[in-house]
Amino acid sequence: MKRILMTIMVLLLFTGSAFAQSGSLIGVGGGSIPQKVIYMGLTAATYDGDCSGACDSYDSTDAICHAEYPDSHVCAANEIGAIIAQGDEATLPVTGDCWVNAFHPGHTTTPANDCSGWSDGTFESFATIWIFDGSVGSKDASFLTFCNESKNFACCK
């Protein structure tokens, strides 16, 4: 199932129907050539879905990445897909998992919406994580998890 989801994500990426954030336009209406996405690293600290009350928006979580990696932001799931598609998979972590932005609901009856835009740190909301498993060619697993979990943010430029 995860391979199917990754295939769909990559197809969207190259058909011009997927966006990244902060100026990293991946493609619009016609499959434009993607802008190179650069993985900067993981945040030093871990955070729950509202950063223990310190976050309330995408801007506030982006500011965490920006403070550690200038000009960076929280990676979107499709940006991790772009990094893999670009052949830059070796720049990604070998193991572990991290928060990434999805920007769209993963489910309509459950609050699966980036912890309500990174403002909800409870077990009643969900957000997307990317799981790195260490084997080349399989760093493609994204899942939903509870927002009360503590994870690093992945930062991209």
What CATH code is carried by the domain that includes residue 56?
A: 3.10.100
| Overall number of domains in the chain | 1
Per the prediction, the chain carries an average pLDDT of 79
3-state secondary structure of 153: strand
User: Among 93, 87, 84, 96, which residue's Cα sits nearest to residue 129?
Assistant: 96
| pLDDT tens per residue, range 68-84 | 999 999 999 999 989 98
| pLDDT tens per residue, range 86-102 | 999 899 988 889 999 99
| pLDDT tens per residue, range 9-48 | 433 333 333 333 444 444 433 444 458 999 999 999 999 9
Residue span of the structural domain in which 77 resides: 2-156
